[in-house]
């Protein structure tokens, strides 16, 4: 089989076995799946209780012990499918959806074979040629892309549902649990409606997939800021390069209502992530990241092969389809029906939905005003917001040794004329360049960050990454009432990234030393109002 290295890196995490260079299910598993695929009259699986027994048998055939599953998994399955689900829905689930899932599991080995064969042909991701795209472990500090068909993802997620992924090797590789046992066990252990509604989203996804298999692709990319001079990687900005940056600030639009995932223009939609991609999606979590994983469940597939993020890393997913509508947040989260995702697709068959996972500092408290921590946050955001195709431009922009815009323009122009490929230097009419950032209170809710500080950091990072705009959803947060005014003032005075960076660093230093207690905007306002008395009228 082609791409043997790729397969070897992931094989111990997959339920299928490799025999004489082909992938197989053990024969007992094939028999059991065949029975399931023929429906409840054949398999006798017509309740959550029996379903769990079938799962235990499948696991046993794969030499996985059911002791490794979360304690209340059986009760969770039974509660959901036998008590909470209506009889009509359960008939559809056991009669149609589950058999179709079993059928897709039967085809998993051949889907994987086809996947590795395809991934071997020269692929081109976002105008980067010759990238490997095979399913493999995307280890920390190794930038790379995995491109999966939506069909293969649905089979992998069916493995999660049946709890067929080996549990034991994952922890040692910094990978989260990928089976759905805890999702169901948590429902039973501590019944609450949000958990039931999370499961409803997942069940809805399988119902949709089984009635019509989507034909697109989804890519998962680990983005890494280079620790050394690796030219294919995004350069790692030093603190001095932020303070000297002459890049202009991008457009900043404030929306006090609306949600990132409903943003209509193509943008990098920020996932306020946990360093473990997906956070508590498969356990009890139900805030911004977890909700996104429930309404776009294909994101879950990334949890299979994307270990924990380091400070200089981000994860970008392009093409995940949205299947569900919802209302609420955290304990008020509710599934409220089908969602038809009408986003266009790109030449690789990916929906033009770009989700960027960046993990903010957790409960930073006063630490967040310390210089090293501001640098950590801005470089994390820069890593996420950057476009790896522009690494050369970033390198030039981050060099510390040009002091004027004219000199910078000269360097950029010489890059343009020297390069063989056409390189877009500044945001312009190019379609790619229309991709801005849609974000909000990153690292501020459960993570406890300062929203004013975080908004400015994201603006700086987006600008330095040459993004044309940032759309900021405030979720009506009180402390951001002045955001629009302040960003408009700054924009009208044409501050550079360096100018604003130096302000936020000065403010943070005073805040650290307890020389000021006010928020950044109030700290900045007297300075602004000396110039423009109008700013204080609000
Ligand atoms: C998905 O990706 C594969 C592999 O690169 C490609 O052959 C296929 O055409 C893509 N699908 C679509 C719908 O573009």
Lining ligand 1 with CB less than 6 A are 118, 123, 147, 149, 215-217, 348-349
Q: Look at residue 130 in the predicted model and tell me its pLDDT.
A: 79
Q: Is the pLDDT of residue 422 over 70?
A: no
pLDDT digits (tens, 9 = 90+) for 255-270: 999 999 999 888 999 9
329 annotated to a ligand binding site: yes
Q: Is the pLDDT of residue 69 over 80?
A: yes
Taking the CA of residue 121 as reference, the ligand 1 atom at the shortest distance is 5
What gap in Å lies between CA 210 and CA 406, rounded to an integer?
58
Q: Are the beta carbons of 142 and 222 closer than 8 angstroms?
A: yes
Atom nearest to 348 CA in ligand 1:
14
Q: At what angle do helices 520-531 and 483-492 cross, to 10 degrees?
A: 40
pLDDT digits (tens, 9 = 90+) for 271-317: 999 999 999 999 999 999 999 999 999 999 999 999 999 999 999 99
Rounded Cα gap, residues 500 and 502, in angstroms? 5
Catalytic annotation on 12?
no
- Going from the Cα of 145 to the center of ligand 1, the distance in angstroms, rounded, reads 14
Q: Please tell me the distance between residue 393's alpha carbon and the centre of ligand 1 in angstroms.
A: 30
- Catalytic residue list contains 271: yes
Distance 158 CA to ligand 1 centre (A): 22
pTM attached to this predicted model: 0.93
Distance CA 248, CA 505 (A): 18
DSSP 80: I
pLDDT of amino acid 421: 39
Out of 221, 289, 298, 450, pick the active-site residue.
289
| pLDDT score of 60 more than 80 | yes
For the four alpha carbons of 492, 498, 503 and 505, in that order, the dihedral sign comes to positive
73-77, 101-105, 354-358, 430-434: range with lowest mean pLDDT: 430-434
The answer to whether 224 touches 233, Cβ cutoff 8 Å, is yes
Closest-CA residue to 320 (of 303, 307, 332): 303
pLDDT category of residue 415 using cuts at 50, 70 and 90: low
List, for residues 452-474, the tens digit of each pLDDT value.
Answer: 999 999 999 999 999 999 999 99
Burial tier of 86 (Cβ tally within 10 Å: 0-12, 13-18, 19+): exposed
- Give dist(CA 78, CA 337) in Å, integer: 23
Give catalytic status of residue 5 as yes or no. Answer: no
Q: Is 141 part of any known ligand binding site?
A: no
Q: What is the mean pLDDT of the chain?
A: 91
Of all residues in the chain, what percent carry a pLDDT higher than 70? 90
pLDDT tens for residues 497-535?
999 999 999 999 999 999 999 999 999 987 777 666 555
393 assigned to a ligand binding site? no
Q: How much is the average pLDDT of 363-391?
A: 95
Locus of tokens 């890196």? 9
Atom number in ligand 1 closest to CA 118: 4
Q: Which residue is closest in CA terms to ligand 1's atom 1? A: 217
């Amino acid at each position: 089989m082609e791409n043997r290295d790729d397969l070897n890196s992931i094989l111990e995490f997959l339920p299928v076995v490799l025999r004489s260079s082909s992938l197989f299910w053990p024969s007992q598993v094939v028999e059991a799946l065949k029975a399931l695929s023929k429906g409840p009259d054949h398999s006798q699986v017509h309740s959550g209780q029996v379903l769990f027994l079938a799962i235990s048998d499948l696991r046993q055939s794969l030499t996985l012990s059911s002791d490794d599953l979360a304690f209340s998994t059986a009760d969770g399955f039974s509660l959901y499918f036998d008590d909470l689900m209506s009889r009509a829905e359960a008939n559809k689930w056991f009669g149609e959806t589950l058999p179709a899932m079993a059928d897709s599991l039967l085809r998993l080995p051949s889907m994987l074979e086809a996947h590795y064969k395809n991934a071997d042909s020269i692929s081109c991701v976002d105008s980067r040629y010759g990238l490997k795209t095979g399913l493999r472990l995307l280890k920390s500090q190794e930038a790379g892309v995995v491109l999966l068909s939506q069909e293969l993802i649905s089979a992998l997620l069916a493995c999660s549902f049946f709890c067929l992924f080996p549990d034991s090797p994952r922890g040692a590789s910094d990978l989260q649990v990928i089976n759905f046992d805890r999702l169901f066990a948590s429902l039973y252990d501590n019944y609450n409606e949000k958990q039931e509604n999370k499961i409803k989203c997942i069940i809805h996804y399988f119902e949709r997939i089984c009635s019509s298999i989507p034909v697109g692709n989804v890519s998962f990319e680990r983005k890494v800021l280079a620790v050394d001079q690796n030219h294919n990687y995004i350069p790692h900005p030093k603190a001095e390069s932020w303070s000297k940056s002459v890049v202009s600030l991008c457009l900043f639009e404030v929306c006090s209502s609306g949600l990132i995932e409903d943003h209509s223009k193509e943008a990098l939609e920020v996932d306020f992530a946990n360093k473990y991609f997906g956070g508590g999606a498969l356990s009890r979590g139900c805030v911004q990241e977890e909700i996104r994983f429930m309404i776009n469940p294909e994101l879950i597939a990334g949890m299979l092969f994307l270990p924990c993020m380091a400070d200089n890393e981000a994860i970008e997913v392009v093409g995940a389809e949205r299947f569900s509508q919802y209302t609420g947040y955290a304990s008020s989260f509710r599934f409220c029906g089908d969602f038809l995702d009408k986003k266009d697709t790109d030449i690789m068959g990916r929906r033009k939905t770009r989700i960027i996972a960046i993990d903010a500092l957790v409960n930073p408290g006063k630490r967040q005003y310390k210089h090293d921590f501001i640098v950590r946050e801005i470089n994390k955001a820069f890593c996420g917001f950057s476009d790896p195709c522009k690494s050369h431009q970033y390198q030039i922009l981050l060099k510390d040794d040009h002091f004027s815009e004219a000199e910078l323009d000269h360097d950029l122009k010489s890059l343009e004329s020297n390069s063989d490929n056409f390189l877009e230097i500044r945001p312009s009419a190019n379609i790619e360049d229309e991709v801005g950032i849609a974000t909000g209170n990153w690292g501020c809710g459960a993570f406890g960050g300062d929203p004013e500080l975080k908004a400015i950091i994201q603006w700086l990072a987006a600008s330095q990454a040459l993004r044309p705009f940032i759309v900021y959803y405030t979720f009506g947060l009180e402390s951001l009432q002045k955001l629009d005014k302040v960003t408009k003032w700054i924009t009208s005075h044409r501050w550079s990234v360096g100018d604003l960076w130096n302000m936020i660093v000065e403010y943070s230093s005073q805040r650290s030393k307890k020389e000021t207690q006010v928020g950044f905007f109030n700290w900045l306002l007297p300075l602004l109002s000396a110039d423009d008395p109008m700013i204080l009228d609000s």
